[in-house]
Structure 1
Amino acid sequence: MRIVLVGPPGAGKGTQAAYLAENLSIPHISTGDLFRANISQGTPLGLQAKEYMNAGHLVPDEVTIGMAEDRMRQDDAAQGFLLDGFPRNIGQAEALDTFLSAHRLKLDAVLDLEVPEEEVVRRIAGRRICRNDSSHVFHAEYSRPVKEAVCDECGGELYQREDDSEETVRKRLAVYHSETEPIIDYYKKQGLVTTISALGAVTEVTERAMRALPRG
């Protein structure tokens, strides 16, 4: 099974990708993991990416595509994979099609996680992170600490990351709409897209996604 997971920031793609990959026994391939692995291992692509990132520039598509292709060639991806964060634009989607065609493979499904824009803003802008341990995460509305701005786990100060401010979230959504959303129409023309509501409990969303996958 070869799947692409698409959705705006705050849709829960990472969480759903992990559950789906486990259920389907295929690797979860995320752009973030690809970058971290290549940079930490000092691969030629990782060194290129680090150079661009250190200069404050976006990593070019060809570097991201190269990392994704290398990962999809690995043995554990022979029977399938779940792509999360790649492709993120039409150029990357076309490159993925070319790669799959060259290996006589094809995508089985594109799952589009749908969340209303205001819900995305609420989810991300409400996050509060512990300064002592970033794995301690709370939410101003959905998962409030017992004491305002104090971590229940360790007593550390809770704060809002700069990336989580409402202004930044809306900018990230604008980028998603202009760059990534067009790949949904691209894949719709191939008959691959199923749109799934990402509202509700994590398990409910996973069940919807599993039901949307082709059988056989």
Structure 2
Amino acid sequence: MVIHWVLVVRYELMKRFGYYITESSEHNAEYHPYFIKSKYPELIEKFNIPLDEYPRRCENQIEEWEEMRDELVKNEELKHERTHEYASYIMEAMETGKPYKIGGNVLNTGLIENLPQKAVVEVPCLVDRSGISPCQVGELPEQLAALNRTNINVHLMTIKAALEKKKEYIYQAALLDPHTASELSIDDTINLCDDLIEAHGDWLPEYK
């Protein structure tokens, strides 16, 4: 069986955990502690992980956005065509009552029973004049819920840090990150956080 290079990490996770993975291989390599490892540099080539993919993509996108802006501003014969993007269909459903189904990101509130209530989850949603109504999913297979929880823990602590402005919670969020924890010691992780906070300067408020 030949696996396309962009699917290698996703396929490995599917093989080991038993279910299809929708997230990209690049992101999955970052989220999990199995693929980008200083002790096993050969995994980068084995799983074809493009470490520079997102900086490169961001640079390209910024350039494309600037070109698009110029094209739109200077185009006196601009026409609009509806695309597959959700936004216009959601607005239409809420204004006219014409039902529309989406995969939406919503507060969990028990929709996925074995994930934290405060987590944001992506579930099937029905949109109509009454708004966006998420559908009950039930429980995920336990191994998949466990994989999700490892990152949800980080998300919840990051939110707590942002709301309460406590540097201690930034440290704890980083210490809970599965990829970081697989590579760095506690002291290294805290020092890394301090370096990042200092480097970002005015972008971050002062944390106590």
TM bucket by the smaller chain?
A: under 0.3
Q: Return the TM-score normalized by structure 2.
A: 0.22
Would you tell me which structure has more strand in proportion to its own residues? 1
Q: Higher RCO, 1 or 2 (CA under 8 Å, sep at least 6)?
A: 1
Q: Higher helix fraction: Structure 1 or Structure 2?
A: 2
Larger Rg: 2
